[in-house]
Structure 1
Amino acid sequence: MNAGRPARPRSFLVTATPPTTNGDLHLGHLAGPYLAADVFSRAQRMLGHTVLYVCGGDDHQTYVVTTAERLGTTPEALAARCTHDIRETLRAARVSVDTFTGPDEPYRARVRGFFRDLYRAGRLVRRTWTFPYDPRTGRHLLEGFATGYCPECLAETCGAICETCGHPNEPGTLLHTAPTGGRPAPAAVTSRDVTVLVLPLEDHRARIEAFYARRRSTMRPHVLRFVDEMLARPLPDFPVSYPADWGIPVPVDGFPGQVLNVWAEMLPGLMHMAATARAGHDPEGTVPDVWARDSGHELVQFLGYDNTFHFALAHLGLTLAHGGLAEPAAIVTNEFLHLDGAKFSTSRGHLVWARDVLARHGADAVRFHLALTHPEHQPANYTEAEFLTTVEARLHRPLAALHAAADHAGDRPAPPDTATTEVLGRYRDRMLHAYSMETFSLRQAAETTAHLLALLAARAAADPDAARYGLRAVAVWAAPLLPDLAGELRHRYGAPEQDTGRLQEVLTAW
């Protein structure tokens, strides 16, 4: 691999799925798209590329309503409090987003305009859907208001999407549908036919197939398997509106008592977040819309696997229907992180709050362990005991040995020998591979760093100069993963903040 500075600087637009503002981030949330997108963004900046990393609160989920009812507050108050808490937790984890916004009036205006334009262009159509209906509450049972069993994999799930297999369900297709939330269940659930606004995904089949034929190398295997499953049958209509009173009202006539589907809202919502971030860097407005198809930005989206349908098919369909938006260059998914062998669950109290672990152990220790155990391709498990053991054995202990040895090397160690240069060159190349969009892997970045620390620590007493050079290399190449440690090492050993030049030149300059 060429270790020199990239010949062509690239521009990346990075998104992480907006978290639902019905609670703070637990450790399972942090282990997912937010940490991965942060490491990717930091790495691209280190390599000389331009990056906008955007996210924001997902206030209009029905889960905000059901949680507010359970807590005896309003959805508005809950969303505002949780947006503040999430921002603080991301800050404590050193997750540096360029913007983290909520749905203010400019946001709502952009969302309304996006769907009004699609409707006027004939891209959205009317369909009659059958919704389960709770006559006691007057609520249509959809999204978080409904519970039942997935018609695809038979797992227990809520409405819209099955978290287990990722397949969508129409409100009427859940098996054994019942109400959820903070109110008693009625004696019986009836049904109502409602005319809603939909995007017919099947109309875009040919272009969706062509897109995935072009982009197979930058999609996670589980995404491709899911898309292949969906394309093996007629694609469903994607609901753009549904009957509810929490969210953004439908901006066209003929849909009274309906709001925009929050998962449809999310695409223009992220576009607004990106525009807000761009304006923060370019207040004069000299740079065009970064989400535009010809903007030159590569769109890289990080999300949990359970959101795959919405990003890989629904949002792609909306993008194709619009015609002027950037298509994803990569969709980077993660599976679930479990706690003591079971899913994190706010409702059951089966969770560990991310801010609590960060306060006790610091950002780098948490980032290191979550990267080592990152659920890239299959579920992973977290236990407190394993966290403490792993961080001590694979980070703190080798670092202590290396610091002790490096102190004996003095301020001007001898130039690195061939063996040291080769080892650190291989470390650099493997970290560059882990940070690349095409082969991005949090696990590989963390494992490679842990292996280097172990190798250097085993030889530290015999070769203190190599220990010092190794710590300087970690300060450069592990900085996206361990930003606090990298800053400490730069201060202690004089390593440069960034360097993508040839390793031999870096080492001799030190």
Structure 2
Amino acid sequence: MTQTPRHFLVTATPPTTNGDLHVGHLSGPYLGADVFSRAQRMLGHTVLYASGGDDHQTYVVTTAQRLGLDPVELAARCNRDIAGTLELAGIDIDAFTSPDDGYRDEVREFFAGLYRAGRLVTRTWTFPYCAQTGRCLLEAFATGYCPECLAGTCGAICENCGHPNDVGSLLFAASTGAERSVTEPREVEILVLPLEEYREQFTEFYRRRRATMRPHVLRFVEEMLSRPLPDFPVTYPADWGIPVGIDGFDGQVINVWAEMLPGLVHMAESARLSRSPQTPTGVWTRDSGFELVQFLGYDNTFYFSFAHLGLILAHGGLVEPTAIVTNEFYHLDGSKFSTSRRHLIWARDLVGKYGPDTVRFHLALGNPEHQPSNFSEDEFLRSVRTRLHEPLHTLATALAPHAGRQVSARPETEALLERYRDRMRRAYTLETFSLRLAAETSANLLALLAARAADDPGLAVAGLRAFAAQAAPVMPGLAAVIEARYAAAAPGTVPQLADLLPVTV
């Protein structure tokens, strides 16, 4: 069946540049967006995939302070590390940028335009001020307990339930890094986006987009819409970030989570220049023909589902997201990955030890798409050994006596493989996208081929090539090696298939 070509603009949440990527990070939006992008190109669609370093997060400041580093130097180093890790893991991203003067100018002008249009309004906000740190309590500068789920959290958002907070609602708020958390209230005039004014548009948007939103996102949206929506702070009093540049708001910077929306627009244009310079500028504009698909961890849902969508609605000329694809937390040995607690496995270390395709296969097979998943190195080794390496070794051994010869497939072989292809198309299609389904279905095919290889070499030969074609978005390196072996063999003959994987586990 011929599909109408589609144009996708794919984003993965810009990572905070206070460290390299750990395995929990890699298992989330970066791998998901990469597999989706590769799959859409395989299906004949156009894709631009963009992300970049999130340098202006206050977590960069608190981490640099803890490590005794300059935050600018820390962010620059982490940008390099993250870009390198993505490359090692086979993440084929079209643009991974870091903020420069052009980026900052575009972000400032975006909000200046909203201000001139009357879309941003002034509110008096009370911030606790800590004299010891010289900071207002906000974002990473504040700690406390979530007023929604009661979990310990920092300011702005709860990583556990995803609900927003502010220093007024954060329970038992304290100043990060202060020995004595003594604060005094300071009233500050800031700019906000009044989300409640867009309630009807939010409601209609999610009614139309239910089919391409994950269930947890829809549940979160329903929770948020069950009560008045909060004002979203666009500026706040701090010295780390992009200065507002609007009269009357001296000493304030643009909220980093507000900055991210025009920042992603900038990154998308960099992706266009890299992948498809012949495509007209303005890929994020409403009439560009691109569908926006955004990959993110569930803890960022509020920003993408309300704050960013609200900014898009306020602007009026930008494309709205077609899909918000979230992932849940990936735990390590039963506990959440944590850079600050050093409870982690660095992604570059795991990929360097076992190879990118092996790591990608396992992270897809147990991906935390709809509920938290757990990583342990023992389970990793077991799953890749039994579900990937051993079946491939069995296939190579069974087909070795037939190398260079022709084998014929049985009449029912093509129907079987078409079922596999059809299920993989379902795994890759936007409305039913699933890393788990793609990896599980491909692993099942390998098991079937390995079990039948001795009796039906024709099925094994045809099936392995179908596997290489369809599993390529998940395991691009392995797929390329298999295809190269087939290409090197004489037409219609069995290729040499020994040593397909460079690393044995």
Range of TM-score over shorter length: over 0.9
Cα offset for 1:461? 1.2
1:104 paired to 2:100: yes
Q: Are residues 1:127 and 2:123 paired? A: yes
Secondary structure in structure 2 of the residue aligned to 1:494: helix
Which residue in the other structure is 1:499 paired with?
none
Question: 1:236 maps to what in 2?
Answer: 230
The residue matched to 1:173 in structure 2 has which SS? Answer: coil
Match 2:141 to one of 132, 139, 145: 145
**Identity fraction in percent:** 66
Q: Deviations over 1:59-101 (max 9, x none)?
A: 0000000000011111110000000000010000000100000
Q: For residue 132 of structure 2, what is the aligned residue in structure 1?
A: 136
Tell me the residue number matched to 1:485.
Answer: 478
CA contact (8 A) 2:410 2:458 kept: no
- 1:440 paired residue number: 433
Q: CA deviation at 1:465?
A: 1.8
In the alignment, structure 2 segments of 5+ residues that lack a partner are 496-505
The Cα of 1:187 is off from its aligned counterpart by: 4.8
**Structure-2 residue corresponding to 1:408:** 401
1:463 equivalent to 2:456? Answer yes
Whether the 8 Å contact between 2:269 and 2:281 is mirrored in structure 1 is: no
**CA shift at 1:495, angstroms?**
9.4
Gaps of 5+ in 1: 497-505
State the TM-score, normalizing by the size of structure 1.
0.94
Deviation at 1:280, TM superposition (A): 2.6
Q: Whole-Å Cα distance in 1 between the matches of residues 366 and 492 of structure 2?
A: 31
Write out aligned runs for 1:49-448 (5 A): 49-180=45-176, 183-283=177-277, 287-411=280-404, 413-448=406-441
Distance 1:324 1:507 in 2: 54
Q: Is the 8 A contact 2:174 2:181 kept in 1?
A: no
Contact 1:83 1:102 in 2 (8 A): yes
Q: Is the Cα–Cα contact under 8 Å of residues 134 and 186 in structure 1 kept in the other structure?
A: no
CA contact (8 A) 1:409 1:465 kept: no
8 A Cα contact 1:472 1:495, kept in partner: no
CA distance in 1 between partners of 2:181 and 2:242 (Å): 31
CA distance in structure 2 between the aligned counterparts of 1:262 and 1:299, rounded to whole angstroms? 21
Instruction: Note the alpha carbon deviations across 1:263-320, whole angstroms, 9 max, x for none.
Output: 000000000011112123455x661310000000000000000000000110000000
- CA–CA distance in 1 between the matches of 2:429 and 2:68? 46
Displacement after TM superposition at 1:424 (Å): 1.0
SS at match of 1:168: coil
Deviation at 1:417, TM superposition (A): 1.6
Distance 1:412 1:228 in 2: 61
Aligned residues: 493
Give the deviation of 1:422 after TM superposition: 2.0
Q: Give the aligned CA root-mean-square deviation in angstroms.
A: 1.6
SS state at 1:130 partner: strand
Aligned equivalents of 2:275, 2:144: Cα separation in 1 = 46
Check whether the contact 1:118–1:124 (CA below 8 A) recurs between aligned residues.
yes
User: What is the letter of the counterpart of residue 238 of structure 1?
Assistant: F
Q: 1:69 & 1:187 partners in 2: Cα distance?
A: 17
Shift in Å, 1:107: 0.5
1: CA distance, partners of 2:487 / 2:458: 14
Q: Distance in 2 between matches of 1:328 and 1:144?
A: 28
Letter in 2 for 1:347: S
Distance in 1, matches of 2:251 and 2:488, equals: 61
Q: SS where residue 394 of structure 2 aligns?
A: helix
User: What residue identity is the alignment partner of 2:383?
Assistant: T
**Cα displacement (A) at 1:189:** 2.4
In structure 2, distance between residues paired with 1:153 and 1:353:
30
| Aligned residue identity for 2:224 | M
**Distance in 2 of aligned mates of 1:355 and 1:477:** 26
Give, in angstroms, the shift of residue 386 of structure 1.
0.3
Match of 1:153, SS state, is coil
**How far apart are the structure 1 equivalents of 2:469 and 2:95?**
26
8 Å contact kept, 2:162–2:299: yes
Taking the aligned partners of 1:220 and 1:368, their CA distance within structure 2 comes to 22
